[in-house]
């Protein structure tokens, strides 16, 4: 008997097979709306977030516009079984891929920015803390590097030289084909520690680590805060962050990730053209595409690209960031055609679209027709709304109204 997702979502508050969801949860609200003369249901509830378990600590790598791990976990557990193939065509920091690995699903990751693989692949092959410490101890620190670019507004001179030493070490290891899982782990953690707003980062106080500001902007921040970069020990912070990433990861989860890594595929392709993925292969796609120039990925990641010897300007040219919703929709239509080709019959595509322009544009209105045109059946729209605490209301937080704490997900299925 085929699984009825509509019935499941409607009666969600009565289900107990998903991560301890409380029996007293609110009843799902069901609304109807029409697109292309087709009646499509919207299911509104708090399907994940606060009432489900906290996500694994292994996900705590900052990246702009990434969704919470509970979102892919919800659909992976609902719509797949172990060893099914899970795909993300806009992988970003790799949330879908890592969560799929934890659940023993096979994975295919794609992102046109090679930074995505740098952030995701190492978390499938996790070295021990002792091995990380030993490797760091053996990396020589050269305090006489010539300045590549001016980073004095971010780093103390000694910290900068430690970063340059590490950058050079990683570059040489890769060039000489000596790079291993320990090197990749160190590279991933260091990329995440370059800038941030606490003493756990290499830099002086700046914006959160998912958004690197320009040198000019950082000079203004320093002046306004009357601050100057102080020395931060790079190796110590890499070890501390590594311990934090692994703090609640079980031995079984590590084994699951390592096993899945043996068959995992990482691509850096345009999501509209992925010939490396065979026809009718993928059971489930869970993704969130770039939205209408809301996020400038290349600008946000310029410092990470520099550290990893990636040409940020070249990547920026490849990342399609349409400002016009019709052009954006047309581009997504091409993505859906490719997704239809690679999706198994009875397979699913979960497309998180969010809201832009403070909710004035609801992208599901534009995405549903594109999915239908590609051949999918739209099984509904899930709107996950997070309730706010009394404390949030006291402080005047009204993110729910602007869509920041609302996930809007379109469900597509390939019937034949």
Same domain assignment for residues 225 and 275: no
Q: Please, what is the Cα angle at 233 between 201 and 231, to 5 degrees?
A: 85
Same domain assignment for residues 409 and 265: yes
Q: Are 319 and 290 in contact (CB under 8 A)?
A: yes
pLDDT for the residue 26: 64
Q: Which of 223, 244, 265 finishes a domain? A: 244
pLDDT for the residue 22: 42
Q: Which of 214, 244, 274 finishes a domain? A: 244
For 204, 210, 215, 263, 276, the CA distances from 159, given in Å and listed in that order, are 11, 20, 17, 38, 42
- When pLDDT is cut at 50, 70 and 90, the band that residue 127 belongs to is very high
Same domain assignment for residues 146 and 101: no
- 119 located within any domain: no
Give the CATH number for residue 97. 3.40.50.150
pLDDT for the residue 403: 40
Answer yes or no: is pLDDT of 321 > 70. Answer: no
- 11 located within any domain: yes
- 389 located within any domain: yes
DSSP β-ladder status, 343-352 and 406-413: antiparallel
- 79 located within any domain: yes
Closest to 268 (Cα-Cα) out of 227, 216, 225, 308: 308
Same domain assignment for residues 73 and 202: no
35 or 327, higher pLDDT: 327
pLDDT for the residue 391: 29
DSSP β-ladder status, 106-110 and 85-88: parallel
Same domain assignment for residues 255 and 388: yes
When pLDDT is averaged across residues 236-248 and rounded to a whole number, the result is: 97
SS3 of residue 42 by DSSP: strand
Task: Quote helix, strand, coil % in the chain, to nearest 5.
Answer: 40, 15, 45
Residue 203 burial by Cβ neighbours in a 10 Å radius (0-12, 13-18, 19+): buried
What is the domain range of residue 156? 129-244
Closest to 131 (Cα-Cα) out of 120, 122, 144, 143: 122
Answer yes or no: is pLDDT of 46 > 90. Answer: no
Q: What b-and-e string marks burial along 105-123, b requiring 16 or more CB atoms within 10 Å of the CB?
A: bbbbbbbbbbbbbbbbbbb
pLDDT digits (tens, 9 = 90+) for 333-348: 999 999 999 999 999 9
Closest to 328 (Cα-Cα) out of 291, 285, 369: 291
Report the percent of the chain where pLDDT is more than 70.
85
pLDDT for the residue 294: 55
DSSP β-ladder status, 355-356 and 343-352: unpaired
pLDDT digits (tens, 9 = 90+) for 281-310: 999 999 999 876 655 666 788 999 999 999
- 303 located within any domain: no
Exposure on the CB side of residue 226, measured as CA atoms within 13 A = 0
Same domain assignment for residues 408 and 273: yes
Same domain assignment for residues 237 and 255: no
Q: Facing residues of 30 across strands?
A: 43
Same domain assignment for residues 269 and 369: yes
Residues 6+ positions from 161 with CB-CB distance below 8 Å? 141, 142, 143, 144, 145
Please give the Cα distance from 60 to 210 (Å, whole number).
Answer: 11
Same domain assignment for residues 147 and 240: yes
pLDDT digits (tens, 9 = 90+) for 10-33: 877 655 443 444 444 567 888 888
Q: How many structural domains are present in the chain?
A: 2
- 101 located within any domain: yes
Chain mean pLDDT for the chain = 86
When pLDDT is averaged across residues 192-213 and rounded to a whole number, the result is: 89
8-state DSSP, 223 = H
Answer yes or no: is pLDDT of 404 > 70. Answer: no
pLDDT for the residue 51: 47
- 59 located within any domain: yes
Q: How far is CA 360 from the centre of its chain?
A: 25
Please give the Cα distance from 110 to 236 (Å, whole number).
Answer: 32
Residues 6+ positions from 64 with CB-CB distance below 8 Å? 210, 211, 295, 297, 300, 301
Q: Which of 84-88, 110-114, 339-343, 363-367 has the lowest mean pLDDT?
A: 363-367
Mutual angle of helices 157-175 and 234-245, in 10-degree steps: 70
pLDDT for the residue 324: 84
When pLDDT is averaged across residues 268-287 and rounded to a whole number, the result is: 97
Answer yes or no: is pLDDT of 402 > 70. Answer: no
Please give the Cα distance from 141 to 120 (Å, whole number).
Answer: 27
SS3 of residue 282 by DSSP: strand
Q: Which of 210, 228, 244 finishes a domain? A: 244
358 or 83, higher pLDDT: 83
Element (H, E) at 31: strand 29-35
Same domain assignment for residues 238 and 270: no
Same domain assignment for residues 269 and 378: yes
When pLDDT is averaged across residues 206-220 and rounded to a whole number, the result is: 86
Please give the Cα distance from 15 to 47 (Å, whole number).
Answer: 11
User: What is the DSSP annotation of 228-279?
Assistant: ------HHHHHHHHHHHHTTT--HHHHHHHHHHHTT-EEE-S-TT--TTSPT
Q: Which of 153-162, 330-339, 400-409 has the lowest mean pLDDT?
A: 400-409
Answer yes or no: is pLDDT of 87 > 70. Answer: yes
- 121 located within any domain: no
pLDDT for the residue 234: 98
Same domain assignment for residues 396 and 274: yes
């Amino acid at each position: 008997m085929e699984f009825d997702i509509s019935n499941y979502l409607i009666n969600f508050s009565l289900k107990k097979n998903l991560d301890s969801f409380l029996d007293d949860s609110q009843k799902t609200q069901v609304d109807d709306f029409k697109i292309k003369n087709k009646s499509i249901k919207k299911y509104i509830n708090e399907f994940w977030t606060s009432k489900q378990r906290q996500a694994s600590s292994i996900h705590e790598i900052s990246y702009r516009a990434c969704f919470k791990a509970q979102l892919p976990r919800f659909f992976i557990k609902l719509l797949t079984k172990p060893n099914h193939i899970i795909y993300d065509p806009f992988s970003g920091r790799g949330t879908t891929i890592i969560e799929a690995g934890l659940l023993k699903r096979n994975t295919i990751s794609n992102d046109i920015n090679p930074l995505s693989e740098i952030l995701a692949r190492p978390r499938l092959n996790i070295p021990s803390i002792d091995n990380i410490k030993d490797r760091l101890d053996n990396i020589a620190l050269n305090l006489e590097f010539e300045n590549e670019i001016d980073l004095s507004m971010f780093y103390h001179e000694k910290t900068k030289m430690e970063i340059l030493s590490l950058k050079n070490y990683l570059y040489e290891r890769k060039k000489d084909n000596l790079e291993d899982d320990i090197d990749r782990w160190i590279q991933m953690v260091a990329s995440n520690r370059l800038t941030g707003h606490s003493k756990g980062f290499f830099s002086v106080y700046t914006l959160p680590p998912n958004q690197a500001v320009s040198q000019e902007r950082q000079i203004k921040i320093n002046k306004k805060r009357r601050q100057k970069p102080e020395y931060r020990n790079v190796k110590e912070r890499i070890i501390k962050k590594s311990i934090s990433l692994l703090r609640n990861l079980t031995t079984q989860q590590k084994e699951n990730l390592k096993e899945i890594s043996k068959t995992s595929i990482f691509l850096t392709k345009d999501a509209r053209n992925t010939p490396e993925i065979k026809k009718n292969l993928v059971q489930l796609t869970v993704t969130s595409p770039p939205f209408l120039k809301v996020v400038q990925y290349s600008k946000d990641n310029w410092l990470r690209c520099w550290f990893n010897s990636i040409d940020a300007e070249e990547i920026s040219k490849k990342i399609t960031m349409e400002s016009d919703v019709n052009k954006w929709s047309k581009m997504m239509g091409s993505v859906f055609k490719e997704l239809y080709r690679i999706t198994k019959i009875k397979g699913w595509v979960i497309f998180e679209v969010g809201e832009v322009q403070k909710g004035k544009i609801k992208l599901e209105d534009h995405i549903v027709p594109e999915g239908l045109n590609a051949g999918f059946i739209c099984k509904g729209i899930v709107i996950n709304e997070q309730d706010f605490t009394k404390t949030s209301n006291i402080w005047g937080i009204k993110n729910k109204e602007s869509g920041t704490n609302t996930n809007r997900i379109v469900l597509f299925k390939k019937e034949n």
